[in-house]
A and B are shown apart, each in its own frame.
Chain A
């Protein structure tokens, strides 16, 4: 399978250590259990503050499940609860058939984690980081050496094997953290804001690598506050605010259900005055700062109404998760 000569250059990116790609429909098929992670009415608070509030969701095997929410929505706490690093006050958590936190150690054998903040061993080289981490899973140096080349290829770090972590760029460090998370060939990957702080190029490379993992049948739980990331990667999303689930479903279903029509953004002018002008033509309007958002099934009518007015900048675009999120949580509150 590795490096077939007949493979077209384009497939080289996904060829490292992986079997034939699985189509999204096949993901999770033929498994003993279809459920990778199950939360039932989970509650967690720190002092007075409720961080996770009666949260229930199910992550299907082989799918990418996204937890989407602003900072402080409880995303990282949920990741810690899954790993058994935090104990819920109420509710039930099952991960890969193991009760968590009681049997979290057994679940963790089959989980890989990319934490929000890099915690690589800075004094070690790339190769040494993998070796040290493999030992935490009971692997011998030989076991780790055997899979190191394929992990480095996957992370595009072949040329950096003997570089110290301090010499790596932010994107390279993230990719090494991802490679490290794969050392135990996990069934589930938990990624806590994997691309926060990365430049667009590095971010796209991570996304491409994550899609490659999904095509290998891995289950991914992703926390993010990037709408684009959630939209691109996730099969299913749970939108959170202050520890509560405010919506759940596939990204496009959420967009269709909550918005369902094109969006026109109007910059400039007096938004309140403009709002009155176009309200009859729109399904819904919202003002955020000095921008007027207009959700209209017939955007041409709205554009026609505004044409001829000077000093306005108009942008028509399809609806996205940002619109969903802002509709559900209230745009004004957020800004």
Chain B
């Protein structure tokens, strides 16, 4: 009975890397365009909102608005990169390109494929998040020495949102459904979780909602790291993100098994 589900789980600790390397090889062929595409949106938000609104707002939480926003944009761009890589890239490899079909004829299990895709999506999240962190640091809105502390938080954000997106592609019949995920889940989360303004501005009920959302925990880890402040409740934030990751991974693997291995 349980043996049947073995196919949905990774076979070992390293098989996934073959999938990661395949995606890396494909990405390398169009790396520059991909990087520009990933960085352009959060950058324009950072400069547009940061310098535009920043003039009117002045200081937030004792720092300039641009510095406040920078951390929010790093977390958001990690979320968006990981999500888009999964719902567009991985979904295409699963469906139209039949890449997964080919891989599933080899030694790899479905769990290996899913894990490799998650690792790859998280890598893209790290690239995007790090890119913005470096620009922010170069402009003086983030502290250089603390960047290494932000990196693991960005990576964890990437894995968590890639796992959630994996559940979405396991259920979505076609690309059209991804818009709902974006407009009903990701975009509201960006406004609720303190990316653009402090959560404290929200009504108490919405603050409670924000506490349950993964992006809030990402921002609570990334912002103090970038601003060189002491982070509080690190264990809680890491724990929540890990929980989202593990639960979503297992659920997505089982759903994908049902979808692909009928």
In the bound complex, do residue B25 and residue A128 qualify as a contact, i.e. CB atoms below 8 Å apart?
yes
A124 interface residue (CB < 8 Å to B)? yes
In the bound complex, do residue A87 and residue B98 qualify as a contact, i.e. CB atoms below 8 Å apart?
no
- Kindly state the separation between the CA atoms of A184 and B106 in the bound complex, as whole angstroms: 9
B26 interface residue (CB < 8 Å to A)? yes
- Kindly state the separation between the CA atoms of A87 and B6 in the bound complex, as whole angstroms: 12
CB under 8 Å from chain B, chain A span 263-291: none
CB under 8 Å from chain A, chain B span 60-99: 97-99
- Kindly state the separation between the CA atoms of A103 and B102 in the bound complex, as whole angstroms: 19
**B99-114 contact mask (Cβ, 8 Å, vs A): 1 or 0:** 1011111111100000
Most buried by B among A83, A122, A138: A138
| B3: chain A residues within 8 A (beta carbon) | 101-103
In the bound complex, do residue B261 and residue A85 qualify as a contact, i.e. CB atoms below 8 Å apart?
yes
A149 interface residue (CB < 8 Å to B)? no
| B104: chain A residues within 8 A (beta carbon) | 83, 85
In the bound complex, do residue B26 and residue A108 qualify as a contact, i.e. CB atoms below 8 Å apart?
no
Kindly identify which residue among A101, A119, A132 contacts B101, using a CB–CB cutoff of 8 Å. Answer: A119
- Kindly state the separation between the CA atoms of A264 and B139 in the bound complex, as whole angstroms: 88
What band does the interface of chain A fall in when counting residues whose beta carbon is under 8 Å from B? 20 to 34
Quote the shortest CB–CB distance from A309 to chain B (angstroms): 54
In the bound complex, do residue B105 and residue A121 qualify as a contact, i.e. CB atoms below 8 Å apart?
no
In the bound complex, do residue B106 and residue A119 qualify as a contact, i.e. CB atoms below 8 Å apart?
no
In the bound complex, do residue A122 and residue B105 qualify as a contact, i.e. CB atoms below 8 Å apart?
no
B39 interface residue (CB < 8 Å to A)? no
In the bound complex, do residue B101 and residue A115 qualify as a contact, i.e. CB atoms below 8 Å apart?
yes
A123 interface residue (CB < 8 Å to B)? yes
In the bound complex, do residue A119 and residue B102 qualify as a contact, i.e. CB atoms below 8 Å apart?
yes
**B1-45 contact mask (Cβ, 8 Å, vs A): 1 or 0:** 001101100010001001101100110010000000000000000
14 A/B residue pairs, CB under 8 Å, sorted by A: A85-B104, A86-B261, A87-B4, A102-B6, A105-B6, A115-B98, A115-B101, A119-B99, A123-B26, A124-B25, A128-B25, A136-B19, A136-B107, A138-B18
Beyond the given A83-B105, A135-B18, please list 19 additional residue pairs across the A-B interface where CB-CB is below 8 A.
A85-B104, A101-B4, A101-B7, A105-B11, A108-B106, A109-B107, A119-B99, A119-B102, A121-B22, A121-B97, A121-B99, A122-B97, A123-B29, A124-B26, A128-B25, A132-B22, A136-B18, A136-B103, A184-B106
**Chain A: residues with CB nearer than 8 A to chain B?**
46, 83-87, 101-105, 108-109, 111, 113, 115, 117, 119-124, 128, 132-133, 135-138, 184
